[in-house]
Amino acid sequence: MNLKDKKVILHDMSLRDGMHAKRHQISLDQMVAVATGLDEAGMPLIEVTHGDGLGGTSVNYGFPAHSDEEYLSAVIPKMKNAKVSALLLPGIGTVDHLRMAKDLGVSTIRVAAHCTEADVTEQHIGLAAKLEMDTVGFLMMAHMASPEKIVEQARLMESYGANCIYCTDSAGYMLPDEVTEKIGLLRAELNPNTEIGFHGHHNMGMAVANSLAAIDAGAIRIDGSVAGLGAGAGNTPLEVLVATLVRLEADHGIDLYKIMDVAEDLVVPMMDQPIRVDRDALTLGYAGVYSSFLLFAKRAEAKYGIQARDLLVELGRRGTVGGQEDMIEDLALTMAKEKGLI
């Protein structure tokens, strides 16, 4: 693999995807400390919101320690060079949230939809583009559709005004060949000015390898998370990815030691549990299930006595998609009834 001098724009997820692993309880001080550390390390983009994006605050996904407004207002004024992005899932957040984020100084909006349902993003991508924001279309659970389908959906987002399209491995299911194929086809088929991005999860231990494959196939934006803090077995651990990029002499702009220190000194001490490939996180990747289901399945196991692994495999079999956290307790109740546990 030759990535020498290849431009890579890294995007940190620890303060958004990491919210899943922290049950959305990251404090304002922690947010500011991590974001400031990342800014100093040269991270160009940092995502800040509830784990499920703007407006994610709910019984279904969890009530956060602070509102999106509070987090964004705390972090954005402290940034010297880094830009702050926000995630928005139509069906959960609305254009009102988007306008709020823009007013608070968010420069990149990432509008996310399941990889076959891009047409729900027209309102939001259209408005973000009109507001001249850096507008990203984020195709989630991309392992569930063919490369051709992903291209078709990406074209829709491009037509609404997105200037960057992500192939998102929300379940951490993909192996490098699949990443190469999907990113390669997106790069070949989309407008040459449209940037391509990849968002990985580490559930099969593949996040770093997949990210390198994505860069090699034409992706320029790569999501990761310092110390991997994120849903499931975490996102692509950025300090590890940066070390590989240093050795490959790619053009990434990050200070390796500084990002290592943010990971070790700030983020690891914040963790409620080790972010690792335990049997449940591995099951997410193996069965192709949305990574943020992990802690919900563990809680359902504790409450109803049904193994998280069994719940996750069944949720995968049923073709659940991102956002269907409510299925977990429902399924646990049904399985517990069948087993005579309740």
Partner 1 sequence: MSKKLKAVIIGPGNIGTDLLMKMKRSEWIEPVWMVGIDPESDGLTRAREMGIKTTADGVDGLLPHVLEDDIRVAFDATSAYVHAENSRKLNELGVIMIDLTPAAIGPFCVPPVNLVQHAKELEMNVNMVTCGGQATIPMVAAVSQVQPVEYGEIIATVSSKSAGPGTRKNIDEFTRTTASAVEKVGGAKKGKAIIIINPAEPPLLMRDTVHCLTEGEPDQAAITESVHAMVKEVQKYVPGYRLVNGPVFDGNRVSMFMEVEGLGDYLPKYSGNLDIMTAAGLRTAEMFAEETNSGNITLPARG
Considering the rule CB under 8 A, would residue 73 count as an interface residue with partner 1?
A: no
Considering the rule CB under 8 A, would residue 94 count as an interface residue with partner 1?
A: yes
For 318, phi then psi, to 5°, come to: -80, 0
Min. distance of Cβ 324 from partner 1 in angstroms?
Answer: 6
Considering the rule CB under 8 A, would residue 338 count as an interface residue with partner 1?
A: no
Active site includes 97?
no
Instruction: Report 146-205 residues binding partner 1 (CB under 8 A).
Output: none
Which of residues 25 and 116 has its CB atom nearest to partner 1 in the complex?
116
- Binding segment for partner 1 (CB under 8 A), chosen from 68-76, 189-197, 199-207, 328-336, is 328-336
The residue within the footprint of partner 1, chosen from 40, 70, 255, 329 (CB under 8 A), is 329
Considering the rule CB under 8 A, would residue 319 count as an interface residue with partner 1?
A: yes
Min. distance of Cβ 153 from partner 1 in angstroms?
Answer: 11
Which of residues 148 and 330 has its CB atom nearest to partner 1 in the complex?
330
Considering the rule CB under 8 A, would residue 125 count as an interface residue with partner 1?
A: no
For helices 207-217 and 176-189, what crossing angle results, to 10°?
Answer: 30
Min. distance of Cβ 93 from partner 1 in angstroms?
Answer: 8
The residue within the footprint of partner 1, chosen from 40, 69, 70, 117 (CB under 8 A), is 117
The runs of H, that is alpha helices, within 81-237 are 95-103, 122-130, 147-160, 176-189, 207-217
For 198, phi then psi, to 5°, come to: -135, 135
Considering the rule CB under 8 A, would residue 58 count as an interface residue with partner 1?
A: yes
Catalytic residue among 20, 50, 124, 202: 20
- Strand runs (DSSP E) across the chain, as ranges? 9-12, 45-47, 83-88, 108-114, 134-140, 164-168, 195-199, 221-224
Instruction: Note whether 266 and 34 are within 8 A (CB).
Output: yes
Q: For residue 282, what are the contacts with CB-CB under 8 A and spacing of at least 6?
A: 203, 204, 233
Q: Cα torsion for 175, 206, 249, 46, to the nearest 10°? A: 110
Spatial CA neighbour of 136 closest among 179, 106, 170: 106
Instruction: Note whether 82 and 106 are within 8 A (CB).
Output: no
Three-state SS for 197? strand
How far is residue 40's CA from residue 86's CA, in Å, rounded to a whole number? 20
Enter the tokens of residue 319: 């073709």
Considering the rule CB under 8 A, would residue 114 count as an interface residue with partner 1?
A: yes
The residue within the footprint of partner 1, chosen from 42, 91, 105, 205 (CB under 8 A), is 91
By CB under 8 A, the count of residues binding partner 1 is 30
Instruction: Give contact residues for partner 1 (rule: CB under 8 A).
Output: 58-60, 90-92, 94-96, 114, 116-117, 119-120, 122-123, 144, 318-321, 323-324, 326-327, 329-330, 333-334, 337
* Residues designated as active site: 20
